[in-house]
């Protein structure tokens, strides 16, 4: 009989998803073929993400857009657009305005004391802090129903009008209600697209530039010293890389993230065209999964959010109920791309996100507004499971038959936490085996604390794929280490 041997995988999932390398080259790899409902903490370990707890009890609509409106008094109001076509204020869900459309795909922006709302097929709208309608001078003569609005450089900007997909408009300086006088103006980019005609999908403002996202190209205009858009200059044009969805665009402290036809990209601060085009996409390691979700979703439904406290850029595909969490401040060594994990909820897809001045992060979804806090799902529709599935492991020699004997996992969890260890062998999907376990009161006496769980294993293999999963029901789970024990057998070519 061969000598019992062990293999240790330290910090499973700490480098996030990797669908390119399915077989271990480095046996201490921290990648996962599946890393679901987890984030990588400050110590570099995979931990379950927090829950999104419902804040709007009794509300029956689905919230599809969110915005934290900082008012002149310093107060902040969470504004939401729901599936009934109504715009609501705060978590009390007080109705403030009814849209002509029922898609609730509104984009919000604020300037001064006014909140501006843009939505395809709906007349451009503004309300004041008393939630009264605000007159927009000259707006109707310039555009009718733009789908894009942002506030930047002291102005409101709009684009993607119903019949005009190539013009951007800007308001008078410090006055988003005036569009036909002062230094309000517009710019047609029909002749600026580097490869023929394109259409505007989104706008963003960052590092002194106005970024115009076309469907197939991106234009970057640099603002002048006098801050007058009439004098801004086209300084970069990115060819063959556009934006799929308006609400995928997020400005972060590490760059501007967006979704293209072929994955998640980032425009780095002050990056030149060549440096962007020479880089793989941000989602390089798991891009096949991103492309699958693009194909399964309507572009107008795609949403994103940014959580600056932790540096999470989350891109959501509500229809398949799949989101990707990009850890913008944690890079995978060698490939130098941010760690990425996958999120899902049993019955609450993420339709919108916003972040308030107090550090609270919210999502919009079924039954209203949900706050990122704690680890206790409020009902079965909000259930989620932390899962890590490793790469295929050869146990030193793929040509030799091995015989699994046992396994042990070091985790941080509460006493009574249930989990499951699963394993497959020899690249075969139909070979799944499982072993359920519970964290004992003796081993996890600190409750929660770091302890070890052991499980008996069986099956002969040339390669094995391990997996750990934990239904989150009240406390966080952190995965520290996994060790497998097996005895070597005969060589089988």
* pLDDT at residue number 279: 46
Q: Are strands 52-54 and 76-82 parallel, antiparallel or unpaired?
A: unpaired
Quick one: 276 and 224 in the same domain?
yes
Residues of the chain with pLDDT under 50: 27, 271-279
* pLDDT at residue number 258: 97
* Whole-angstrom distance, CA of residue 455 vs CA of residue 237: 57
Domain membership of residue 263 (yes or no) is yes
Quick one: 162 and 257 in the same domain?
yes
* pLDDT at residue number 275: 42
* pLDDT at residue number 399: 83
Its domain, for residue 413, covers 5-49+387-491
Quick one: 186 and 271 in the same domain?
yes
Quick one: 45 and 76 in the same domain?
no
Domain membership of residue 22 (yes or no) is yes
Domain membership of residue 312 (yes or no) is no
* pLDDT at residue number 400: 85
Quick one: 434 and 483 in the same domain?
yes
Instruction: Say which CATH number the domain at 25 has.
Output: 2.60.120.260
Report the C-alpha dihedral over residues 222, 226, 227, 229, rounded to 10 degrees. -70
Instruction: Say which CATH number the domain at 224 has.
Output: 2.130.10.10
| CA neighbor of 80 nearest in space, from 249, 303, 378 | 303
* pLDDT at residue number 100: 60
Quick one: 149 and 189 in the same domain?
yes
Measuring CA to CA, how many Å separate 449 from each of 14, 322, 392, 452?
19, 31, 30, 10
Domain membership of residue 361 (yes or no) is no
Looking at 255, 273, 291, the residue that finishes a domain is: 291
Per residue in 423-458, pLDDT (tens digit) is 999 999 899 999 999 999 999 999 999 999 999 999
* pLDDT at residue number 61: 95
* Whole-angstrom distance, CA of residue 420 vs CA of residue 455: 10
CB 121 within 8 A of CB 109: no
Number of domains in the chain: 2
DSSP strands (E only) in 138-280? 148-152, 155-159, 167-170, 185-188, 200-206, 209-214, 218-222, 233-238, 250-252, 255-260, 263-267
Quick one: 128 and 222 in the same domain?
yes
Per residue in 91-150, pLDDT (tens digit) is 999 999 987 666 789 999 999 999 999 999 899 999 999 999 999 999 999 999 999 999
Q: What is the pTM of this model?
A: 0.96
Cα–Cα–Cα angle for 55, 256, 166, rounded to 5 degrees: 100
H/E run at residue 294:
helix 287-296
């Amino acid at each position: 009989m061969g000598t019992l041997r062990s293999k240790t995988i330290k910090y499973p999932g700490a480098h996030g998803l990797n669908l390119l390398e399915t077989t271990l080259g480095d046996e201490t790899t921290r990648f996962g073929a599946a890393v679901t409902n987890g984030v990588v903490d400050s110590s570099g370990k995979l931990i379950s993400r927090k829950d999104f707890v419902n804040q709007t009890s009794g509300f029956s609509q689905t919230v599809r857009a969110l915005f934290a409106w900082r008012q002149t008094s310093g107060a902040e109001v969470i504004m939401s657009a729901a599936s009934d076509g109504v715009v609501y204020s705060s978590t009390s869900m007080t109705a403030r305005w009814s849209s002509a459309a029922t898609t609730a795909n509104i984009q919000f922006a604020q300037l001064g004391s006014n909140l501006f709302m843009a939505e395809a097929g709906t007349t451009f709208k503004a309300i004041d802090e008393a939630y009264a309608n605000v007159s927009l001078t000259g707006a109707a003569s310039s555009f009718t129903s733009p789908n894009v609005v942002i506030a930047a450089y002291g102005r409101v900007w709009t684009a993607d009008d119903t019949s005009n997909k190539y013009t951007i408009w800007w308001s008078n300086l410090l006055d988003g209600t005036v569009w036909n006088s002062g230094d309000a103006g517009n710019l047609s980019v029909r002749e600026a697209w580097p490869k023929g005609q394109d259409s505007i999908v989104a706008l963003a403002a960052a590092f002194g530039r106005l970024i115009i996202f076309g469907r197939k190209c991106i234009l970057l205009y640099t603002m002048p010293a006098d801050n007058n858009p009439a004098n801004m200059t086209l300084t970069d044009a990115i060819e063959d890389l556009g934006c799929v969805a308006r609400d995928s665009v997020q400005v972060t402290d590490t760059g501007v993230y967006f979704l293209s036809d072929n994955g998640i990209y980032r425009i780095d601060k002050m990056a030149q065209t060549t440096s962007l085009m020479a880089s793989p996409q941000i989602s390089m390691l798991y891009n096949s999964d991103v492309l699958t979700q693009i194909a399964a979703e309507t572009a107008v439904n795609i949403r994103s959010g940014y959580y600056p406290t932790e540096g999470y850029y989350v891109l959501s595909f509500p229809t398949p109920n799949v989101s990707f969490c990009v850890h913008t401040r944690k890079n995978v060594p060698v490939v130098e791309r941010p760690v990425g994990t996958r999120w899902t909820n049993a019955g609450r897809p993420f339709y919108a996100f916003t972040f308030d001045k107090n550090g609270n992060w919210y999502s919009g979804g079924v039954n209203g507004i949900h706050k990122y806090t704690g680890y206790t799902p409020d009902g079965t529709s909000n259930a989620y499971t932390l899962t890590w599935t490793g790469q295929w492991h050869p146990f030193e020699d793929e040509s030799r038959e091995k015989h699994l004997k046992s396994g042990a996992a070091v985790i941080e969890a509460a006493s009574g936490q249930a989990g499951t260890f699963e394993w497959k062998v020899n690249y075969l999907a139909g070979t799944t085996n499982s072993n359920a376990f519970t964290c004992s009161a003796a081993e996890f006496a600190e409750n929660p604390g770091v302890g070890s769980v052991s499980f008996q294993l069986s099956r002969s293999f040339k390669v094995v794929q391990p997996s750990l999963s934990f239904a989150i029901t009240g406390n966080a789970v952190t995965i520290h280490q996994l060790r497998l024990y097996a005895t070597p057998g005969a060589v089988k070519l």
